[in-house]
Amino acid sequence: MRQKDLIAFAITTVFVLVAASIFLILPLMKNTSLSSPPINESSVIRDVGPSKTASNTVMATTTTENPSPSISREEAITLVRDDYSEHTHSITRIELTDHYKKKPLYIIELVPDASMQSTRNETVFIDAMTGDYYNPAQEDAKISIEKAKDLARSAFPQLTPDRVRMTFSDGSQYLRGWEFILYRDEKKLVQGSFDADTGDLSSYSIGITHQDRPETPSVTMDAAQQTANWEIRERNGDIPVVQVDARLDPLGMPGEKIAGKYVFVYRRVIHGVPCDSDGIVVTVDSVAGNVVNYHKSWSLNEDAVALPAEPVISRDAAIKTVQQEAEKIYPASADSLQIVSAELRWMDFHNPDKVIPKPGSVPLAWKVQFNDETIRGWQWPVPANGWVDAKTGTLLDLYYRH
């Protein structure tokens, strides 16, 4: 072969090799993301659940620009497991992202076990810097998470917690606010909630130990009531409330012979009339004498009530209306029906996170509570109740079920 032909052959061969290389490389380039590097073997975390199934595999990927988290993936999983046990939920994905306010977050997806009543999958966010739960809606709260933690600590100075877990509830399932748990040495001391905009303490709960608990109270009801009154003043100052109930409730399972707990119910008073929803409930341990439950509802605007606060319909007329309607539901129980109480109330039924009552829309009504032979035979009788408009005599509501 002549020298000229050899040169041409060499050039053609090089061209073919280069073209073939490009043909092989292009598909690989199309399947490779520069922003999301492929997961290697070391980046896969196994979620040890009740069974070794595909649903228990946790895929750990990174979509952030080097957020340098302080909380590891393993620590984030441990935090989530406080609320979602491995026996009830499988973790299907955990991913680090900074899509929300450039805040490094772990997105954790959970699937309930087949034995669970709930069939809804859950997605939770863990702040990768602090380990706190994160909800995008908390950015609109007037009380920041740092302020909420300080409020939780200062509300219970005698407990000296070493850790505070704070979660924001956006009102989609529960009341809007900051929910907290105080820990010491990983033991839960108290849990409760604050108003997200005012910082007002909405509720808290402290557990009661059943072990070695006596059968009868060690504290009198009068002493417990003084404790409840003091708690309300300490938390709120002087506020318009009236006590509408005081009782000793059982504790534990049916038949468990242990001392119960005192429950004191106070209702908010507007223009001399108690509300039926707004108010404070305080529960006192009948053995230790301390407050173990506190719940405050205080959402109604005063201009929402329908003034004047004077009834047109008499108490007896309201009772008669309720009795007549009740007898239509259970005619056989008419002879055993007994009136428990009939009191004037503001009928303030509404979800404060979803409804703001219009001025004058909350009616003044007679709340008539009653029972019958069937209800009185229950282990824990709960009276039926009917509501009658105190201005018109209209039956507004009736709950009467066997």
CATH number assigned to the domain comprising residue 235: 3.10.450
322 in the same domain as 372? yes
CA angle 224, 229, 231 (to 5 degrees): 95
Domain end: 154, 174, 203, which one?
203
Q: Are residues 99 and 156 in the same domain?
A: no
For the segment 289-304, the average pLDDT, to the nearest whole number, is: 96
* Whether residue 206 has pLDDT greater than 50: yes
How many domains does the chain contain in total? Answer: 4
* pLDDT band per the 50, 70, 90 thresholds, residue 353: low
Is residue 375 domain-resident? yes
Boundary of a domain, candidates 147, 172, 203: 203
The pLDDT confidence band at residue 82, using thresholds 50, 70 and 90, is: confident
* Residue 350 lies inside a defined structural domain of this protein: yes
* Residue 4: Cβ within 10 Å count: 8
According to DSSP, the residues that pair with 345 across neighbouring strands are 365
Please state the rounded mean pLDDT for residues 98-106: 81
Q: Is residue 2 part of a domain?
A: no
Question: Which residue type occupies 101?
Answer: K
369: confidence class by pLDDT, cuts 50, 70, 90: very high
Report which of residues 352 and 12 the model is more confident about.
352
Assign 31 a pLDDT band (cuts: 50, 70, 90): very low
Q: What is the pLDDT of residues 120-130, one digit of tens each?
A: 899 999 999 99
Given a contact cutoff of 8 angstroms between Cβ atoms, the answer to whether 147 and 177 are in contact is no
| Candidate from 57-66, 145-154, 168-177, 259-268 with smallest mean pLDDT | 57-66
* Same domain as 102, residue 47: yes
**How large is the average pLDDT for residues 365-379?**
96
5 in a domain, yes or no? Answer: no
* 180 lies in some domain: yes
> Residue 186: what pLDDT?
87
Confidence of residue 380 (pLDDT cuts 50, 70, 90): confident
Same domain? 110 vs 162: no
- Looking at the fold, whether 393 and 340 belong to one and the same domain comes out as yes
CB under 8 Å to 253, separation ≥6 — which residues?
none
Which string of DSSP letters, residue by residue, matches 122-163? EEEEEETTT--EE-GGGGG-SS-HHHHHHHHHHH-GGG--SE
| Phi, psi for 53 (deg, rounded to 5) | -120, 170
Mean pLDDT score of the chain: 84
33, part of any domain: no
pLDDT at residue 36 in the model: 32
More confident site: 25 or 225:
225
pLDDT reading at 275 higher than 80 = yes
Write down which residue in 266, 298, 330 finishes a domain.
298
Q: Are residues 155 and 220 in the same domain?
A: no
Q: What is the per-residue pLDDT for 103?
A: 83
Mean pLDDT of all residues in 171-180? 86
Q: What pLDDT does 105 receive?
A: 94
Rg (CA), the chain: 31
Residue 371 lies in a domain: yes
The answer to whether 176 and 353 are in contact (CB under 8 A) is: yes
pLDDT (0 to 100) of residue 67: 53
Answer whether residue 12 shows pLDDT above 80: no
Residue 251 and residue 290 share a domain: yes
pLDDT tops 90 at residue 388? yes
> Which two three-digit tokens encode residue 315?
């108490």
Percent pLDDT > 70 in the chain is 83
> Does residue 310 form part of some domain?
no
CA distances from 132 to 126, 160, 166, 168, 264 (A): 6, 20, 6, 10, 34
Which residues on adjacent β-strands are paired with residue 386?
Answer: 368, 398
Predicted TM-score (pTM) of the model is 0.77
High-pLDDT (> 90) share of the chain, % = 70
The residue with greater pLDDT, 242 or 6, is 242
b/e 293-308 (16+ beta carbons within 10 angstroms → b): bbbbbbbbeeebbbee
Judged against a pLDDT cut of 60, whether residue 173 lies above it is answered with yes
Q: Could you tell me the residue range of the domain that residue 61 belongs to?
A: 41-134
The rounded distance, in Å, linking the Cα atoms of 68 and 73 is: 12
Residues 185-196: what's their mean pLDDT? 94
Count of alpha carbons within 13 angstroms of residue 278, beta-carbon side: 23
Name, in order, each residue with C-beta under 8 angstroms of 384's C-beta and a sequence gap of 6 or more. 326, 369, 370, 371, 372, 375, 398, 399, 400, 401
pLDDT of residue 319: 98
Identify the band that residue 197 occupies on the pLDDT scale cut at 50, 70 and 90: very high
Residues 285, 292 contacting (CB under 8 angstroms): yes
Do 50 and 130 reside in the same domain of the chain? yes
